[in-house]
Amino acid sequence: MKTNVRYEQFVIKADGKLTGTVRVPGDKSISHRSVMFSSIAKGTSQIRGWLAAGDTEATLGAMQALGVQVERHDANTLTVHGGQLTESSEPLDLVNAGTGIRLLAGIMVGQDFSSVLDGSSQLRRRPMKRITAPLGMMDADIRATNGSAPMHVTPSQIKGITYDMPVASGQVKSCVLLAGLYADSPTTVIEPGPSRDHTEVMLSAMGATITREGSAVTIQPTNNLNPIDITVPGDFSSAAFLITAACIVPESDLIIEGVNLNPTRTGLLDVLLEMGADITVTETGAEAGEPVGDIHIKTSQLNGIEIGGDVVVRMIDEFPVLMVAALCADGDTVVRDAKELRVKETDRIAVMAQELRKLGADIEEREDGFRIFGKQTLSGATVDGHDDHRIAMSMTVAGLISQNETVVTDAACAGDSFPGFAELLIETGASLVTG
């Protein structure tokens, strides 16, 4: 059984190339969805390769609080007995999981009992109006607290709507589509950019009728979802730390197998290739309707690039680590249209700029992105993970190319999405000590 051991800090030195053939843990987005959707399906679902991490465990706990029976064969293998959800006597605690709380809200508004959705102080700072506004248009009775969690849901009859989504968001789209399952007529979401489509892929595989016309996705209401039998592919967003590290650490030659290659997730690959990265992708098959394959990375000479438009949402979680790659590139890298980075677990533009500056980096922050001047030499320092998994792991990658030792404190959050991150880096040859 792979356990999620959490370490308070990582101490990194820039010696050791990254080599070998590795796998990353299961996809976080798909793992959240697999547990939620199988809980409301009629029958018994099997889930293998499930991500046992902080965020997904929070979602699993919430579903169990709603009366769902789950057999845990090992950390990553679950049998979920779906059916009717039942009222929880306690608020549902989604801890740090933004995907967990926003998607579950879409399900809870369709239930015939009340609920309270809540989470950590970090989650309570995140904007929920983006879901309560469209859910309100659907006649859902959901009240946020100053626009955030806790959110109080009271039963009501949901009506189908057409929602023109102001920001491209996989979470908002999924929340509205899930509420649409319980509506009195079809629901359509029009998206301004190609956000991840795992909800559409999985619900379709479970028998829901979902159609897409251009940027409009329509779901027909149903209370008859079939159970699923899936193996969750590796998380591209976890692989991203290794991909970037292998690009910038000298003499690296690394293969990552079994990674989800859904094009709504792999924007970083397109960007790194355009920057000149030596990366080869081989699609090997499909899991649960998602393309899967191997990624082979060799140390690369990168060039600066301008990034904006549709690719931004396809790599929204990868910007912190892209900033590290950009520091190694020849020429400047400019990112625009990425304002959403400011409302993630932290304000990822401000926090990455702040922490990279501690290593000596010169970065210009912009309202909707940043300019990074290439090529820079980093010096080691003590930096902070800010209880944001992608910050802690990106700063660890920065440590791999810094002169002198880098210490990443508040690193336990890496376990929110990537259990075994430190161990895997060590396995590939990185000089990293956990503490």
Q: In the complex, which residues of this chain contact ligand S3P (CB under 6 A)?
A: 29, 99, 169-172, 174, 196, 316-317, 340
DSSP symbol at 48: E
Strand arrangement of the beta sheet that strand 278-287 belongs to: 19-23, 253-260, 290-298, 278-287
Q: How far is the CB of 292 from ligand S3P (least distance, A)?
A: 18
Q: Which of 394, 427, 393 is nearest to 22 (CA)?
A: 427
H or E element in which residue 201 lies: helix 198-205
Q: How far is the CB of 168 from ligand S3P (least distance, A)?
A: 7
Identify whether 317 is a catalytic site residue: yes
Contact, 106 vs 174, CB < 8 A? Answer: yes
Q: How far is the CB of 317 from ligand S3P (least distance, A)?
A: 5
CB-based burial, 95-133: b 16+ in 10 Å, e otherwise: bbbbbbbbbbbbbbbbbeeebbbbbbebbeebebebbbe
Q: For ligand S3P, give the closer residue by CB, 126 or 294.
A: 126
Q: Which of 372, 260, 380, 381 is nearest to 321 (CA)?
A: 372
Query: What separation, in Å, do the N-terminal and C-terminal C-alpha atoms of the chain show?
Result: 22
How many residues are given for the chain? 435
Q: For ligand S3P, give the closer residue by CB, 316 or 392.
A: 316
CB-based burial, 292-307: b 16+ in 10 Å, e otherwise: bbbbbbebbebbbbeb
DSSP symbol at 51: -
CB atoms within 10 A of CB 222: 14
Q: For ligand S3P, give the closer residue by CB, 174 or 252.
A: 174
Of the candidates 27, 118, 317, 388, the residue annotated as catalytic is: 317
Q: For ligand S3P, give the closer residue by CB, 12 or 341.
A: 341
Contact, 144 vs 102, CB < 8 A? Answer: no
Q: For ligand S3P, give the closer residue by CB, 177 or 243.
A: 177
Q: How far is the CB of 344 from ligand S3P (least distance, A)?
A: 6
How buried is 415 (Cβ within 10 angstroms: 0-12 exposed, 13-18 middle, 19+ buried)? buried
Q: How far is the CB of 198 from ligand S3P (least distance, A)?
A: 7
Q: How far is the CB of 48 from ligand S3P (least distance, A)?
A: 19
Q: For ligand S3P, give the closer residue by CB, 30 or 401.
A: 30
Residues that are catalytic: 317
